[in-house]
Amino acid sequence: MSNVRTIASPLAADAGSQARAKSSYRPEVQGLRALAVLMVVTYHVWLGRVSGGVDIFLLISAFLMTLSFARKVEGGKPLRLASHWLHLLKRLLPAVVVVILGVLTGTRLILPQSRWPDVLDQAWASLLYRQNWLLADTAVDYYAQDHSGASPLQHFWSLSIQGQVFLLWPLVFAGAALLKRVLRRWTAVDERVSYAALLAAAFGAIFVASLVFSIEQTATNQAYAYFDTRTRLWEFALGSLLALALPHLNPGKTLRVILGWTGLAAMLSCGLLLTVDRSFPGFIALWPTLAAAAIIVAGQSGSRFGVDRFLTWKPLVALGDNSYALYLWHWPLLVLALAATGITAPNLVQGLAIVAASIVLAVLTTRFVEKPLREWHWPQGRAWRTAVVIAACGALLAGPVSVWQSKMMADEAAAAAQPRELTPGAAALKPENAGKPTPEAKIIPAPLAMKNEWADIDGLCTDENVPSDPLLAGCLQNSRPDTVTKRIVVLGDSHAQQYMAALGPIARSHGWEVVALLKGNCRFGGESPDRDAECNAFNKASAQYVLDHKPDAVFTVASLTHKEAPFETEVPQYLEGIKPFTKAGMEVVGIRDNPRFHLNMPECVQKNGPEAAECNVPLQESLAGSSPLDAYRGKVPGLHLMDLSDFICADGICPAVVGNVYVYKDDNHLTKTYVQTMIPMFEKRLLAATGWK
């Protein structure tokens, strides 16, 4: 995304072409780059949608890189890949380090402690150009309307993909050059096959393979595919093919005008006309990339009506010179500004202020960081000098990140080492503890441990527990006891999973085998229009699994809480869903759901303190006044009901912290640590409700 000199006639089809290629500056490409970054910024700040601007960046990067390397090869110059990569890192890393250091400062001042570990992990991932894989593995929602809860370094995913391709693409150029030499030496084919043709074959193969893979992966696992380098390679390949084809494309003036304006209209309208969020980067990404390709083919039209007259507008070209830094700055400023003000989306004035601040920081970064280091002569003399500059940039960031992470690890160890009586959690609400003040202590789990607060389940189902239905491929189970006294299947969503932190240990102590069939945001019940088709299909498959395997009991969450009134309702078609089990002689345990909130509860505590009113929500705004479970009583023989809400809410309040333990890990999920403090109460009520021994 930096200022690059390009070639008007990038590649010709024969050896004599290099004499005809003349070097010139293409300001319309800089203008196109500026427009692309403005699309990204505008859509992020105000629309919360995918613009296609990043895809255009990827195409332009490969287009310019192909022009540069092809000119070297056709000019007989050595590629010197090691020097190229070192020079590239020296050009890219300084601005990256400055921005990440700025983000870390903002994180320390603005973001709650529970978000620090993820930001620090992403700082390393951004520095090492593997941010996209980190986000893919965590299935980050890049399109969430509320950017205040996003990572301020999340946008480095595209730079990571570019960095990986910047390492890969030169190998393709070198491989094609080597193959050309082999052909020249050992065969007569060289006379008929040009270097450009070899490159076209290589990039054509990459284009087809990657596009097919991208379409397939986007259809089956879009959240991962969005950040997967392999699903994006075709966009780079398209840019390279464009560079190779450009010498053979010579549209007339009128056609250039039409191509340019048509491409611009398509480029600007992509994110507005199509709901592309959940379908990128499959074939839909051809829309913005082909639009950009049309603009590049239009080139300098020679007409006063051509789109190049607009794209070569000096302010736009100047913005293109700062587009790399603008992309780096705009997202963290947006995220940190929203987190600081507590708003979920900026209005026009607030958004303009964020954009203006981003542009100012981008200009300053380009002027005082990028440009001086790019023009610094000392590193250019020797490769080791360039390596020293790169290492110094890395150390400038690695030092603070390492120290900060070490401090957090020490804090986590100190919190975990506290005597159990200082962090009783739910035990603090037991009647015998009423009126006893909880001693001062560090609240657990520590921020660094919060991401590990999902209930543990030992592993995938084995042996006869393995489902035959592929919908249930994620079947999980605890380790099988030596002697199995009871078999239980847990059905539902993450709210059922969270209780495995209590049910799992209890099952081990009693010799019970527990299997869990779980799907996010899919509460178990009979088929209902209130659920989507995927959830209904999963529940149907889960019910059939239970009927086929005939466990002794089924564990479910039997009510459904909401952030808005009514705050708690019955699960749609719950009784209809469990009746086939009880008719088949199985018992069913239904536990009452826990509250959901509008705010992240641990973050509320870290910002305002555990006693703050906003972190202690009134019971009437959290759960129904009368439990929905009461409506189930006596209707289905074999249904046993449990209610542990008195160990989640007490004295008319549903607090974020009880007994120096965070009750919630976010806005609706109980922490594993808190559920573990409920084990004695959970066991007592489970055995009392069921009559089990």
pLDDT digits (tens, 9 = 90+) for 57-94: 999 999 999 999 998 888 888 888 999 999 999 999 99
Position 557, amino acid: V
Secondary structure of residue 621 in the 3-state scheme: helix
CB 355 within 8 A of CB 330: yes
Query: Residues 107-115: what's their mean pLDDT?
Result: 94
User: Over the stretch 575-609, which tens digit does the pLDDT of each residue have?
Assistant: 999 999 999 999 999 999 999 999 999 999 999 99
pLDDT of 655-685, one tens digit each? 999 999 999 999 999 999 999 999 999 999 9
pLDDT at site 277: 56
In 434-500, at which residue ranges do the beta strands (DSSP E only) sit? 459-460, 476-477, 486-492
Q: Which of 65, 56, 63 is nearest to 34 (CA)?
A: 56
d(CA 451, CA 120): 13
Residue 1 banded pLDDT, cuts 50, 70, 90: very low
Contacts of 175-179 spanning 24+ positions with Cβ under 8 A:
175/202, 176/73, 176/202, 177/73, 177/79
CATH code 3.40.50.2300 region(s) in the chain: 443-597+627-649+676-690
CA 686 to chain centre: 38
Domain with residues 443-597+627-649+676-690, CATH architecture: 3-Layer(aba) Sandwich (3.40)
Strand-pair category, 486-492 with 512-518: parallel
Q: Reply yes or no on whether the pLDDT at 491 is more than 90.
A: yes
pLDDT in tens, 445-454: 998 899 889 9
Distance in angstroms (rounded) separating the CA atoms of residues 592 and 594 = 7
Per-residue pLDDT averaged across 471-476, rounded?
95
The confidence score (pLDDT) of residue 366 equals 96
Q: Which of 3-7, 212-216, 526-530 has the lowest mean pLDDT?
A: 3-7
pLDDT at 143: 42
Residue-level pLDDT at 420: 86
In this predicted structure, the answer to whether residue 632 has a pLDDT above a threshold of 90 is yes
Query: Cα(5)–Cα(364) distance, rounded to whole angstroms?
Result: 22
Mean pLDDT, residues 494-502? 96
Q: Express each pLDDT in 336-362 by its tens digit.
A: 999 999 888 999 999 999 999 999 999
On whether the CB atoms of residues 6 and 65 are closer than 8 A, the answer is no
Mean pLDDT of 419-437: 78
pLDDT, the chain, mean: 90
